Amino acid sequence: MADEFIPYSRQEISDADIAAVTNLLRSDFLTQGPKGAEFEQAFAERHKVSHAIGVSNATAALHIGCLAMDIGPGSLVWTSPNSFVSSANCAIFCGAQVDFVDTDPVTRNMSLEGLTAKLEAADKAGKLPDVVIPVDFSGLPCDLAEMRALADRYGFRILEDASHATGASYKGDPIGSAHADATVFSFHAVKIVTTAEGGMIVTQDDALAERLRLLRSHGVTRDDSLMQRASEGGWYYEMVDLGWNYRLTDLQSALGLSQMARMDEWRNAREARADRYDALLADGPFRRPARFNDRVSSWHLYAVELTEAARIGRTEMFAAMREAKIGVNVHYIPIHTQPFYEKLGFRREQFPNSVAYYDHAMSIPLFPAMSDAQQDRVVETMLKLAA
């Protein structure tokens, strides 16, 4: 009997989701109607934050996040090499310079010690960053309180990339509600909550929120208080800044809103799978994700690193897992090693922790509807190959 393919991630689309999208298609607005605002409000309430601004994807959210924080030519932005390329590209879009802070081998997030040391050196050299973009890798929140203290001391802003961390929390606060100046979420189909493509940027800062709303929609406003001239009539709008068309449609928002109803149920299901992986893989040659008492992961990913004791290397293991119809993946190829970034002058050895992690890492299947039988097959295959 041939084994079915087990993907590393799979979206959950319910009949309620399908009904929500169908109803929206029969309504008056496909975009810029009431559903977008409804989704934004529900997302803001769930993450205990005053402003949530829906955008076409998380990359767009990172872009306007940088712009709203006045990033442009001459600015400096730091991020983590262990992320998707968008976390760095957003600064390049603005004409700014990018640099990286190596990851912590335990959290796989931006290293707090590394950030502290790099800031001390940058302060002496007079080259402090304007914005730092920490990434909550796999849904595990970064050391946000300590990073906030550093931001206040050195005068940079924090644009948190929480693309993996929808529904996560840190020291009791939902992600997005505390510590960062603005926080970005992704609703790409592989992420926690999906709108097919889509994203959200949240902030507690009224001025930033106003700027973000303008930037996601052409820099155009119909709000009298933002206009520079008197209205010329009911049709009147003004373009007061250069913005983009980065809106989230009502069609996408209807799906997102419907999906959000199951966010907590999914997080719990993901965590139960992660707990079970921790137990079943405990004796295997795998370094498992670290746990922390002061933060709740959304468990977007379950990534292991093969240890010295493994009989085969990660690359062989990956191929053998795929051969066994198990959809493993690797997150991430360190951004600074991409050809585009190499051309900017980065060298592989500059951020050794992220490269060492990449060389040994493998993300294994994790999604809310995964069965015990599927998980057992993943584990048995891994142990047979490597232990």
Ligand X SMILES: *Cc1c(COP(=O)(O)O)cnc(C)c1O
Just list the catalytic residues: 191
Contact 34, 227 (CB under 8 A): no
* Cα dihedral 28, 34, 38, 41 in deg (nearest 10): 160
Nearer to ligand X, 11 or 163 (CB): 163
Nearer to ligand X, 138 or 381 (CB): 138
Contact 246, 201 (CB under 8 A): no
- Beta-strand runs (E) in 238-370: 238-239, 286-287, 295-296, 302-306, 361-364
> Rounded to the nearest whole angstrom, what is the least distance from the CB of residue 308 to ligand X in the complex?
29
* Cα dihedral 192, 180, 241, 245 in deg (nearest 10): -10
Nearer to ligand X, 163 or 217 (CB): 163
Whether omega before 357 lies within 30 degrees of 0, making that bond cis, reads no
Nearer to ligand X, 163 or 381 (CB): 163
Nearer to ligand X, 201 or 382 (CB): 201
Q: For residue 191, give both structure tokens.
A: 């992420």
- Judged by DSSP in three states, 361 sits in strand
CA distance linking residue 168 with residue 329, whole number of Å: 22
Interface residues toward ligand X, by CB under 6 A: 57-59, 83-84, 86-87, 135, 161, 163-164, 186, 188, 199
CA distance linking residue 95 with residue 220, whole number of Å: 23
> Rounded to the nearest whole angstrom, what is the least distance from the CB of residue 57 to ligand X in the complex?
3
> Rounded to the nearest whole angstrom, what is the least distance from the CB of residue 282 to ligand X in the complex?
28
> Rounded to the nearest whole angstrom, what is the least distance from the CB of residue 147 to ligand X in the complex?
16
> Rounded to the nearest whole angstrom, what is the least distance from the CB of residue 90 to ligand X in the complex?
9
- Judged by DSSP in three states, 214 sits in helix
